[in-house]
Amino acid sequence: MADELERLLDEVERRLCHRRGGGEEEPTAAEERRSAKVLMSAGSSKEDLDDIIDEICNDSSFTKTPLNLKSNSASLTPERNKVVVPAYRKRCCPVYLGGSLSPSGIGTNISKRTCDQLRCTACDFRVSLFNDYIWDQSCDYLFFRNNMPELSKLRAKMIKKKGARAYACQCSWRSIDELTDLQTEQQLRCVGI
C-alpha cells in the first residue's frame, strides 16, 4: 500500500510540476495508460484509492488556523470576525455548545470545540450564534418565529455579557457560558452540519 501511495504522489507531483511550467515534457499516451494501470492494479480497488485520498486530505499537517480580520466597528455578528477554512465531509461528533471563550470548529471527543455549524432538527433552520450576548428572560417562541434571522429585530432582546454565547433558531434559543455537550441540553434540538 505504501508503494502505491508513493506512485500516486509521484504521478501527482509530475502533473503539477508540468502545469506550473516545470521542465518536464508532456507524458505520452502509453505512459498515462501505464500509470493508470499501476494505480488500478489487481491489489487495489476504487475504495482503496478513496481511502488514500481521504488519508491525504485528513493529514494533520494541513491544520486549519483562523485568520483574524480587522474591524473598525464593534458590530454584532454571528461569528467573531474570523474566517475558518471549512473541513470537507466532517461533522462535529459529539456536538458541543459553549461560550465565546471556548474554541469553535469541528468538535470531537479529543478536541472539545464548540460546533459553529448547527442546524435545528425541529424547524430545519440554521442555528445562529452571537458571541458575548445572552437572551433576555422575556424571549418567547413567537419572538423568534417572527424575527429570525433579522439581526436588527433580534437585538431588542439581547443583553451583552462577556464570555457568553447566545444560540437561536426559529423555534428555540439558549444562552451558554460553559462548554456543554448537546446531549445533556434539553432546550436545543440540533445537529452539527
Q: Beta-carbon neighbour count of residue 177 at 10 Å?
A: 16
Mean pLDDT, to the nearest integer, of 129-154?
Answer: 90
Instruction: Identify whether 68 is part of a domain.
Output: no
Are 104 and 48 contained in the same domain?
A: no
Sequence-ordered alpha helix ranges (H) in 29-123: 29-39, 46-57
pLDDT digits (tens, 9 = 90+) for 71-104: 444 445 555 544 454 545 577 788 888 888 888 8
Q: Answer yes or no: is 71 within a domain.
A: no
Helix (H, G, I), strand (E, B) or coil at 96: strand
**pLDDT tens-digit readout, 23-64:** 545 555 555 555 555 555 545 566 777 777 777 766 655 555
Range of the domain at 7: 2-62
C-alpha grid cell, residue 180? 456543554
72: in domain: no
List, in sequence order, the alpha helices (H) in 20-100.
29-39, 46-57
* Number of independent structural domains in the chain: 2
118: left (phi over 0), alpha (psi -120 to 50) or beta: beta
Average pLDDT (4-24) is 71
Same domain, 163 and 110: yes
Q: Which residues contact 147 (CB under 8 A, 6 or more apart)?
A: 153, 154
**Is 47:55 a contact under the CB 8 Å cutoff?**
no
Q: What local confidence, expressed as pLDDT, does residue 136 receive?
A: 92
Q: Please say whether the beta carbons of 175 and 163 come within 8 A.
A: no
Q: Pairing between strand 67-68 and 82-83?
A: antiparallel
C-alpha cell at 2: 505504501
In 3D space, the residue among 98, 94, 92, 93 whose CA is nearest the CA of residue 179 turns out to be 98
Same domain? For 88 and 33 the reply is no
Inside any domain, residue 169: yes
Looking at the structure, tell me whether residues 47 and 112 fall in a common domain: no
Judge whether residue 114 has pLDDT over 70: yes
Angle at the Cα of 101 (from 95 to 105), degrees rounded to 5? 40
One domain, residues 139 and 112: yes
Q: What integer pLDDT is reported at residue 72 of this predicted model?
A: 44
pLDDT for position 82: 47
Which residues 6+ apart lie within 8 Å of 48 measured at CB?
A: 1, 4
Place of cell 434540538: 189
Is residue 67 included in any domain, yes or no? Answer: no
Domain match, 22 and 96 both:
no
Indicate if 37 and 93 belong to the same structural domain. no
Q: Are 96 and 168 in the same domain? A: yes
In a domain, 69, yes or no: no
User: Does 103 share its domain with 38?
Assistant: no
d(CA 89, CA 93): 12
Is residue 104 domain-shared with residue 188, that is, in the same domain?
A: yes
Q: Identify whether the C-beta of residue 175 lies closer than 8 Å to the C-beta of residue 135.
A: yes
Q: Give the domain-ending residue among 62, 86, 113.
A: 62
Q: Residues 138, 100: one domain?
A: yes
